[in-house]
Amino acid sequence: MIFGSSVEGRPLTVTRRGDLDGVRVLVIGCIHGNEADGMAIVEQLTRIDPPEGVDLWLVPTINPDGTAAGIRHNASGVDLNRNFPVNWAPLAEPGDWQYGGPAAASEPEAAATVALGELVQPSLVLWYHQDLYRISPSRGLSGQVRERYAELTGLPLIEVTGGTYTGTASQWSRTVTTDGGVGFTIELGPTLTEDEVARHAQAVVTVAAELLSG
């Protein structure tokens, strides 16, 4: 299904797979166009059979213009991961690596993703980035899910730091999730082997089945 389009008119697509009554999991393979290895994990998730009780909503990229150009930003020079309408604030200037755009959800890619999130109302949202090779730790159910995902994939649980985190996609995604608000970023390494792709895809369905379903 096409749920929106980019600044340059490329379609934003989502594929639904698995148990229609299951726990809804929204997976976004890429938001920063030059951090695209997570798209292979989403692709792998379209090929495996999800376990009973898991309803996958799979988005290869919400930044197809950035992916095509191999750049972080969208085609308007906005960092989509600072453009979401939760805790948004004006940040930096056009051209800056963290430029948050002229207004909250000003970018068609962010606005379409917000509408998709409100439609799906997932229990879990996962965002892939590169290449800090870590997952930030947390508490409660979110902490448990992160810990299990890290254990299954070998990623260390270390805080992601170094940016100004206004209007980020993961903060926004925690506001559309049901019960518990589990939405977080997975920082892959600089490269991803086929084995790692398979392990991450399996980790997505395993954490959903073990910790969120039923």
Of 30 and 114, nearer to Zn ion (C-beta) is 30
Query: Contact region for Zn ion (CB under 5 A) — 13-21, 25-33, 110-118, 172-180?
Result: 25-33
Specify whether the CB–CB gap between 149 and 141 falls below 8 A: no
CB of 78 to Zn ion, least distance (A): 14
Question: Which residue, among 67, 42, 65, 190, has the nearest Cα to 127 in the 3D structure?
Answer: 42
Q: Residue 70: helix, strand or coil by DSSP?
A: coil
Number of residues that bind Zn ion (CB under 5 A): 3
Would you give the distance in Å from CA 213 to the centre of its chain? 20
CB of 1 to Zn ion, least distance (A): 25
Question: Which residue, among 55, 186, 204, 27, has the nearest Cα to 116 in the 3D structure?
Answer: 27
- Residue identified by tokens 């390494």 is 189
Of 24 and 129, nearer to Zn ion (C-beta) is 129
Using CB under 5 A, which of 24, 73, 82, 129 touches Zn ion?
A: 129
Query: Contact region for Zn ion (CB under 5 A) — 93-101, 127-135, 145-153, 163-171?
Result: 127-135
How many residues are listed for the chain in this entry? 214
Asked if 35 touches Zn ion (CB under 5 A), the answer is yes
What b-and-e string marks burial along 165-183, b requiring 16 or more CB atoms within 10 Å of the CB? Answer: ebbbbbbbbbebbeebbbb
Query: Contact region for Zn ion (CB under 5 A) — 31-39, 44-52, 113-121, 188-196?
Result: 31-39
Name the residue whose CB lies closest to Zn ion. 129
CB of 35 to Zn ion, least distance (A): 5
**H-only helix segments in 3-129:** 38-45, 64-69, 108-120
Asked if 32 touches Zn ion (CB under 5 A), the answer is yes
Asked if 55 touches Zn ion (CB under 5 A), the answer is no
Residue type, 43: E
Contact characters 79-118, Zn ion, x per CB under 5 A: ----------------------------------------
User: Pairing state of beta strands 182-188 and 124-130?
Assistant: parallel
Of 35 and 65, nearer to Zn ion (C-beta) is 35
Cα separation, 208 vs 25, in Å, equals 7
- Which residues lie near Zn ion (CB under 5 A)? 32, 35, 129
